[in-house]
Structure 1
Amino acid sequence: MVSVNDIAMWRGESSSRVWTDLFWACAGAFLLTFAFPRPALGLLAWVGLVPLIVISLTSAPIRAFRVGYLTGVLHFLALLRWVIGTIHQYGGVPWIAGVAALLLLCLYLGAYLGAFAWGLSRWRRGGFFSLLFAPVLWVALEYLRTMALTGFPWGLLGYTQQNSLALIQVVDVTGVYGLSFLVVLVNTALALCVVPLADRESGRCGWGAPVLGMAVAAACVGAAFVYGTHRMAQVDEAQGKATTLKVGVVQGNIDQAVKWDGAYQFATLETYRRLSAEALKQKPDLVVWPETATPFYYLNPVDGVLTREVNRGLAQGDADWILGAPAAERAGQGWRYFNRAYAVTSEGAVIGSYDKVHLVPFGEYIPFQDLLFFVKRLVASAGNFSAGTKGDTIKGWDWQVGVQICFESIFPELSVASVRSGAGLLVNLTNDAWFGRSGAPFQHFQMARFRAVETRRALARSANTGISGFVDPVGRVTGATPLYEEAWRVASLPVMSLTSLYVRFGDLFAWVCAGLALLMGPVIGGVRRRNP
């Protein structure tokens, strides 16, 4: 077995240096992971990157990359550990394949922290330069992670601040990237206070940059709090003037192991009929069922008996309904399948629909099927799903609904597109049974919460096994349900028309950060190194 001493010998380093790097990588991963649900200790995020930034500002780029990469891999291994059970149980592959899939994913995601540390070390200049360069580089890399390949923006750093209501209001200008910027800015300011102590031999022991850095960081965070407090008052005033709808959400708690078993279909529909009957006593205007709540092709003649059973339940009251179901449509000689949300009246008339746009790789389609012919999809109801049209809304009423199905709620551009199309209310249908009793359902709900604040639209969320509930346009959560319990909730939600800067300009802040990262790093930093 290869030891740490052997690794150190091969690299020409002392074993104590390797152990030190391992310690700080583990410490950083621990702080970052615990800042997310659960336990959601968001304050840890403000110091979680300090060790890595100190190492980056005082060491060679190769060492900075090593510590950053290891920090990222360990952090994501802990944050995304639910992937193993999901792939094993629902993908039909052995446990070892689930472990391998998680490891490959984390080796990829860890590269972003490695690149952050390498870039900060490679192009470091004075303290004030690093104070600005670190947060813009971090945001640029987060945005790249959101867009690269199919995109995987799970666990962006700004999400750790969900419980600071005044602070998160800034996302209606910058998106969640603005919060990530502030968190990294504070981490860098703190790191600059440590650098004079950690790097005495270099002679860079002045305290001007640390004092200035702390002052700038405090001013920026303070300004964000002031903005948030003022903006909350404005949005609350707009909510008070808006038309309200009484919306119900239903949580069926259907076991994923039997969800697609034909023998349980009528039992599933009876569960939703019974829970909906309780919700209808509150006289809601709209009732929402979760993603694929009807485990068959609703409205397809092949499943006519089950469709009639659903419509019988919908006729219990005067409410309209949004319900999740797979859909199949003829396409030439074959079929196209969709993960769909139907809007249906109490008389059974379909007045609108939405097809999921951002599909889950290996969940709803298999990429590179010729190579991965042995991999089973996690959703066993159909062939590969087709994507809907970005920006589509349900327009069956005087107001429009922007729908997010499952993990579409972690992609802010989708909710922004629906609001630009006229949505006055957001609805998230999801089935988080895949995640088990891990931190993932809490993290998923955490990210969906930000879509309400970014767009200034109320959000109703219906999840098969939880968490269901409501988020107002300021980000306040009401009616959140426990996991793995049958439940229903009803709340009055405003139909908003307010347009946030984030809806108007999208990810402009992230693009500016990406441009600054390129300018300050390869351009200015490269010039400095060529002309010392």
Structure 2
Amino acid sequence: MMKRWIQFFKQKGYEFRWAFLAGVLVGTSYIPFPPWALIFCYTPLWLFAVADSTTTKKSFWAGWVTQFTLTLIGFHWIAYTAHAFGQLPWAVSILALLLFCALMHLYIPTAVALGTYLRKRFSLGAIPTLFVIALLHALLERVWPVIFQWHLGYVFIWAKLPIYNLADLVGFEGLSSLVLLFNAWVGSIWLMQKATRKALTHVGLLVAAFAALVIGGAIHGQEWKIFDREVRATVIQANIGNSEKIYAEQGRGFQEFITQRFVNMTQDAFLRHPTTDIFVWPETAFPDYLNQHLLGRKHTNILAQGLSSINRPLITGAYSRDEFSDEKKDQSTYNALFLVDAQANNLDKPYHKTELLAFGEYLPLSEKLPVLLKLLPFISNFGRGKGPQTMAWKFRDETIHWGGQICYEGLYPEFTRKLSEKGTDILVNVTNDSWFGRTFEPNQHLYMTLARAIEVRRPLIRSTNTGISTAILANGDVLQKSPLHEEWSGEFVLKYRHEAPQTFYVRGGHYDWILLLIALVTLLGGGAYYARTRRA
């Protein structure tokens, strides 16, 4: 029996070797690795689908091998998070990782399988099929439900390749689509290799096209180096441990300890940066309610006393409760972002987090089945906000509109587009990445968040509990970055443009998927027409 299983895995391992190679190429070309295989990482899988695969089922399983491999490499931190955040034993956490790898990115094998089916259905050639698979992949990755949205477009900003400047035209999803089309182009060149002159011509065209995008991005980025305003903001990174955060959230102490640490660090930072205009604390940094109608509590008094000594306003994550809510309902509590003055008075309505983390901030289906909350009382169940909103701050006879993002709301392009449409001047992202340790996730989360600043061309400041805290200007300049898992504070000069125009991406560039769909239908229609004329 054992020999039979060994023989089976040897056979399947050899059969799907190119799919495994593609998974390794993708996984080692994504953040935090250099993008060494960016334009050909999916090519081995797709070539297998058009040259070796004989059935839709076989293509699907090849794609599954690829997505499992790349997910295991790039998102191994799921196991750490399940252990640190979910408090699961390591054995269960590893099983959770394997389940995540098996199921989370099934749009990759689905695109390959659909490509194989459509090739047979419309009698497509090998090269058109490569582009069909690339287009299917590009469309599916935009709509497929995933916990952590990612794609290869983000690699450009991570690697500082100027192509990222084109994201204000088509978004980083659009740049990812370009990467996938380049992968299909490389595959077509491979299939042309017997026609040497033709293949070399396409190599030259591919290199020229990529170079044109790099040069074009560099030139385009210069248009956003115009600033006419600035504000100085100092970030406080207190490096509060996971256990202290949990105990504070559950009301089991540590609220005073956490509040005092942030206040002390803020006062120390002010001595170093006396020209600071405003301070920014991370997600739920203030471990209590901060609403105007709840001021006067022990911890808000500590905060007010600390801020009054420096006479500066504060943007901070905290908890919020509606004034007329029922305190017995968990839904009355929100994960929120506040803008307060030096006496802790609310300067505008708090922003309530809209995109909640499943099982971390809400229990799926609990709204329809409240009994689940009784069965699983240890799962937080925050209220859901009403969508993106700005917070207005009077500064030097003008008003600065801060567009708040809490944690991974910064990963959703549509969320930040709405903030831009609402008149945001500066984006502010508050995050707690302490649950991910020193894995790949802090860098992945960072650059995926910074990408939003390029799409809407607004500066973004990011304050985290354990790092990485930083800021990025509208032209793409990333300022100083904090270390991981250390107490730290830093001042940022946020230059911005008063009443900056909306980018093409915000106005309509995010509808580029229509062009992808038209290209897909054209390829399929052309293949069907060619097959019919050939039969005639």
1:245 counterpart SS class: strand
Q: What is residue 414 of structure 2 aligned with on the other side?
A: 413
Q: 1:231-278 CA distances to partner (integer Å, 9 max, x unpaired)?
A: 111111x23xx2111111111100011123243222212221122123
Structure 1: distance between partners of 2:362 and 2:115: 38
Query: Is contact 1:70–1:110 with CA below 8 Å preserved after alignment?
Result: no
State the one-letter code of the partner of 1:266. Answer: E
2:426 counterpart SS class: strand
Q: What is residue 233 of structure 1 aligned with on the other side?
A: 222
Deviation, structure 1 residue 223: 3.1
Q: 1:108-146 CA distances to partner (integer Å, 9 max, x unpaired)?
A: 23311101222333334346534643432221011112x
Deviation, structure 1 residue 85: 2.5
Structure 2: distance between partners of 1:106 and 1:187: 23
1:19 and 2:13 are equivalent in the alignment: yes
> Cα 1:72–1:410, aligned 2, differ >3 Å: closer, same or farther?
same
Structure 1: stretches of 5+ with no match in the other structure: 9-14, 198-204
Q: What is residue 509 of structure 1 aligned with on the other side?
A: 512
Query: Is contact 2:300–2:344 with CA below 8 Å preserved after alignment?
Result: no
Query: Is contact 1:285–1:318 with CA below 8 Å preserved after alignment?
Result: no
Structure 1: distance between partners of 2:339 and 2:486: 25
1:65 counterpart SS class: helix
Equivalent residues in 2 for 1:21-100 (5 A)?
21-38=15-32, 40-59=33-52, 60=54, 61-100=56-95
> Cα 1:181–1:301, aligned 2, differ >3 Å: closer, same or farther?
closer
Q: What is residue 303 of structure 2 aligned with on the other side?
A: 310
Q: Which one of the candidate residues 144, 148, 170 is aligned to 1:174?
A: 170
State the one-letter code of the partner of 2:80. Answer: G
> Cα 1:216–1:390, aligned 2, differ >3 Å: closer, same or farther?
farther
> Cα 1:443–1:333, aligned 2, differ >3 Å: closer, same or farther?
closer
Q: What is residue 458 of structure 1 aligned with on the other side?
A: 459
Q: What is residue 498 of structure 1 aligned with on the other side?
A: 501
Query: Is contact 1:391–1:420 with CA below 8 Å preserved after alignment?
Result: no
Q: What is residue 123 of structure 1 aligned with on the other side?
A: 118
Deviation, structure 1 residue 93: 3.6
1:265 and 2:264 are equivalent in the alignment: no
Deviation, structure 1 residue 490: 0.7
Give me the TM-score of the superposition, normalised by structure 2.
Answer: 0.86
Deviation, structure 1 residue 167: 1.0
Q: Which one of the candidate residues 88, 95, 104 is aligned to 2:99?
A: 104
Equivalent residues in 2 for 1:260-409 (5 A)?
260-261=246-247, 262-281=252-271, 282=273, 283-299=275-291, 301=294, 304-329=297-322, 330-331=324-325, 334-335=328-329, 336-352=332-348, 353-369=350-366, 370=369, 383-397=380-394, 398-409=399-410
1:474 counterpart SS class: coil
> Cα 1:291–1:528, aligned 2, differ >3 Å: closer, same or farther?
farther
1:258 counterpart SS class: helix
2:46 counterpart SS class: helix
Deviation, structure 1 residue 57: 1.9
Mean Cα deviation higher: 419-428 or 364-373: 364-373
Q: What is residue 487 of structure 2 aligned with on the other side?
A: 486
Query: Is contact 1:174–1:510 with CA below 8 Å preserved after alignment?
Result: no
Structure 2: distance between partners of 1:277 and 1:333: 34
2:381 counterpart SS class: coil
Structure 2: distance between partners of 1:443 and 1:65: 28
Deviation, structure 1 residue 373: 5.9
2:284 counterpart SS class: coil
> Cα 1:136–1:348, aligned 2, differ >3 Å: closer, same or farther?
same
State the one-letter code of the partner of 1:33. Answer: G
2:486 counterpart SS class: coil
1:407 counterpart SS class: helix
1:114 and 2:106 are equivalent in the alignment: no
> Cα 1:374–1:32, aligned 2, differ >3 Å: closer, same or farther?
farther
Provide the aligned length of Structure 1 versus Structure 2.
506
State the one-letter code of the partner of 2:223. Answer: Q
> Cα 1:529–1:20, aligned 2, differ >3 Å: closer, same or farther?
farther
Identity %: 25
State the one-letter code of the partner of 1:137. Answer: L
Query: Is contact 2:59–2:116 with CA below 8 Å preserved after alignment?
Result: yes
Query: Is contact 1:426–1:452 with CA below 8 Å preserved after alignment?
Result: yes
Structure 2: stretches of 5+ with no match in the other structure: none
Deviation, structure 1 residue 476: 2.1
Structure 2: distance between partners of 1:216 and 1:445: 34
> Cα 1:117–1:473, aligned 2, differ >3 Å: closer, same or farther?
same
> Cα 1:249–1:348, aligned 2, differ >3 Å: closer, same or farther?
same
Mean Cα deviation higher: 44-53 or 434-443: 44-53
